[in-house]
Structure 1
Amino acid sequence: MSVRVVVSNPETGASYQVEAQADDFAGTAIGDEVDGGYVGLDGCTLEITGGSDDTGRPMRGDVEGQSIDEILIDGGTGFNPTRDGERRRVSVRGGEVGDATVQLNTKVVEQGGTDIEDALGEEEE
């Protein structure tokens, strides 16, 4: 099974989409650092910053495991309030990568000898 990995380069502000094997990221969670070799960036380190599941639910780092939970939030990932004090119960996915994860958002934390633009191709929007 594959997962779409969005790799962001904070130095340039560019982001790239790469297909990778979901098994490579099994057992990791939001905030964990992984080897960039999984997406073709040998020598680089990536930090998982978020993602979404097969129905579009966002992953949240403050929800444990891979389960779907309905949480009451007043902002942040999964809900942008339009009024002060507005809260809403939202269905979100836990912060751990699992079988239902289809997209992972990552950022480059440590750049190795590999040039990111050359390795991943043209910039995605």
Structure 2
Amino acid sequence: MIQFIYYPKCSTCMKALKHLKEKELSFQSRDIVLETPTKEELKQWIERKNEGIKPFFNTAGQVYKTLKLKEKINELSIDEAVELLSTYGMLIKRPLLVLDNQIILGYKKEIYEKL
């Protein structure tokens, strides 16, 4: 089952959601604030994606800027990263699409077209 993790007030997330519905894909949606991913989920996804922790952070968001993570992100361990991400759902890059064989961060129409 595809998991679509998003923020309902995010216009990019809404474009991605519309795309999934137009393709008539079966998926489970999850509000990133109301049902923030757990440390365990995040750690598993980071390891599956195998691109480090940085792609999972919403670097354009206010929480990222408030916590001054730009200066700290390169020194964070996976455990420290998942602690932050699971505490502040808005820190997570969105939308987040979890499939059996891949993790997709953000919305790129050409990637969604291949689903």
Q: Is the pair's TM-score, using the shorter chain for normalization, greater than 0.5?
A: no
- Greater fraction of residues in helix: 2
TM-score, normalised to structure 1, is: 0.27
TM-score, normalised to structure 2, is: 0.28
- Greater fraction of residues in strand: 1
